[in-house]
Structures are given as C-alpha cells and as structure tokens.
Amino acid sequence: TKICVVYEGDFVDGKQHGEGEELTAAKVTYKGVWVNGVKKGDGVATGMPWEEYYYHGPGHSYYHGETQDGKPDGKGELRDTSNRVVYKGEWKNGKPHCRGTEFRHDGELMYEGEWANGTKTNRGEGKVGDMELKDDNGQHLGYYFGETRDEQPNGEGELRYRSSVVYKGTWKNGKRHGQGKAYYTIGYGPVLWLDGEWTENKAQNGTLFPDGTYGGENHDGSPMYPTKPIRWEAGQKLDDWDLGADATCTGGCGSCVCRRFSLLVPCDWECVSRGWLA
C-alpha cells in the first residue's frame, strides 16, 4: 500500500522552501529544511518512511534518527511495520555504514559489527546469529551464535544443531578453545555430557556426566538420580556402558534410558562425543 506523506511549512513560488515538517498518518515523521522543494542539510526523522534500504523482505520500513539532505546519515534505527527495530547503528548517505546491529523480526541478533555502504564487512570484532559452520571436509556442523573476529567464531558463543545447543563456551580463530560445555540432544532439548577445557576443537580435560544431567533435580537443587561424575584427561580410555537388559536405546546415537534407574547414559562414548575428545 502507498504511504501518504503531508508537508507543513514554508513555501516559495509553490515549492517547499525553508523550515518544515512531514507528517505520516497525522504524526510528524521528519523535521528539517527544504530548498526549492528538496530536503537540504541536517534533519531529524521520527518514523520517516525509508524503502531504499530494507533487507527483511516486503513491507514498509521507517527510519528514526539523524539525516543529511533527507537521507539517513549519522546515528539512527530502522523499524518495521510493527515498530520492531531491524537495524540500529550508524548510517551514511542512506545506508548502514561503520558500526551497526541487524535484528530479525523476533528480536534475535543477526549481525553486529562493521558495515560499508550497506554491506556487512565481517572485519574486526563483532557478533553473529545463525552463521553456518562446517568441518574441514565441508560437512555441516550447525549454526554459530556469538562473538566473532574477522568472520570467525572468537570469544563467547554457542554452536547449535537443529535448533539445539551442542557446544557453549569460548572460541578462538574459529575453533572451540578454552572453557566450554558439550551437549547431546534427546527429544526435549540439550543434555550436558562434558564440562572442561578445549584446544583446537578438542576437549583436553574436564568432567564427564554419565547421566547427562537428565534425571532432573529435587526441590533443594540436588540431582534426583545422582551418579558419580568422571574426571577425564586427554588420552584416557572410556569404556562404553553395559546396561544389560534394563536399557533400551532411544533418541538416536548415544542415548540409552535405563528403565530401572530412570537415568540417561551414553552407551557409546565415541558416538556421543562426535570425535570431540582428544
């Protein structure tokens, strides 16, 4: 649908000339100066329709912030038809430029970092949501959400596979490095199986949780079905669990439910770990 914009202000020879303001749906959305019918100099937008840069698909977008010659220029934000911010940061000549943050319609961060003439550069430090990661063979690992440096995971972040977290912790130069937690998934969500130190994508030492913290907690916060965690270091062999007739495998690779104790334990450590153990 077409947006109706009304001008109120000075005229000279039938053209907007001097100070004035624009109204959209009876609300002031722009204040500034016109010269011979054209916006000139500094202005302030408070919901000015801005269709020239809208990166989330069809629909109107509205700009709030500083302007120059009628275009977004300086600090400002772009909002969608539901008044949700889809971009917030710096602008130049009508496009995101320098530092800025892009959001999805549900408010989740998509990108935070450097921009140049409306394009993400991915240079320097920033943050991302939904960055695809692949292994050395080009196989899909999942999507990364967190801090970056030069288009690589760097700092705090998490890897998600099919919407479930499989690793959450620190990264360096695109690899799991430092303190981090690893998870596997069963039906309802992620289950912690390792908390430890990582180097170059491999866990070097830490604590393994045989029940995957699956059993739940009592009212005082203690485990409902406690099992003894395993201290582990690189090179240490892990025997697979032999649960006998009381266990049935569910939920895919590495997940077994022991009916007698209502515990979830890995029946195959290599399968569960995805080769992440050093």
Question: For the segment 91-135, what is each residue's pLDDT rounded down to a tens digit?
Answer: 999 999 999 999 988 889 999 999 999 999 999 999 999 899 988
- Between 117-126, 151-160, 169-178, 218-227, the lowest mean confidence (pLDDT) is in 218-227
Instruction: Flag whether pLDDT at 273 surpasses 80.
Output: no
Most confident option among 15-24, 183-192, 235-244, 262-271: 15-24
How far is Cα 53 from Cα 45, in angstroms, rounded to an integer? Answer: 15
> What pTM value is reported for the model?
0.77
Q: What is the distance between the alpha carbons of residues 50 and 94, in angstroms, rounded to a whole number?
A: 9
Q: Do domains 1-119 and 122-239 have the same CATH topology?
A: yes
Residue 237 or residue 257, greater confidence? 237
Confidence of residue 164 (pLDDT cuts 50, 70, 90): confident
Q: Please state the rounded mean pLDDT for residues 182-192.
A: 73
Q: For 1-119, which CATH class? A: mainly beta
Of 268, 270, 250, nearest in space to 259 by CA: 250
For the four alpha carbons of 212, 164, 271 and 168, in that order, the dihedral sign comes to: negative
**pLDDT over 80 (residue 252):** no
Q: Can you give the pLDDT at residue 63?
A: 95
* Structure confidence at residue 52 (pLDDT): 66
Query: Can you tell me whether residue 269 is helix, strand or coil?
Result: helix
pLDDT at 261 over 50: no
Looking at residue 211, its pLDDT comes to: 58
Domain residue limits, the chain: 1-119, 122-239
What CATH number has the domain spanning 122-239? 2.20.110
Question: What tokens were used for 61?
Answer: 């977008």
Determine which helix (DSSP H) or strand (DSSP E) holds 19, and give its type and residue range.
Answer: strand 15-24
Q: What is the pLDDT of residue 54?
A: 53
Question: Is 196 buried (19+), middle (13-18) or exposed (0-12) by CB count in 10 A?
Answer: buried
Burial of 108 per CB tally in 10 Å (0-12, 13-18, 19+): exposed
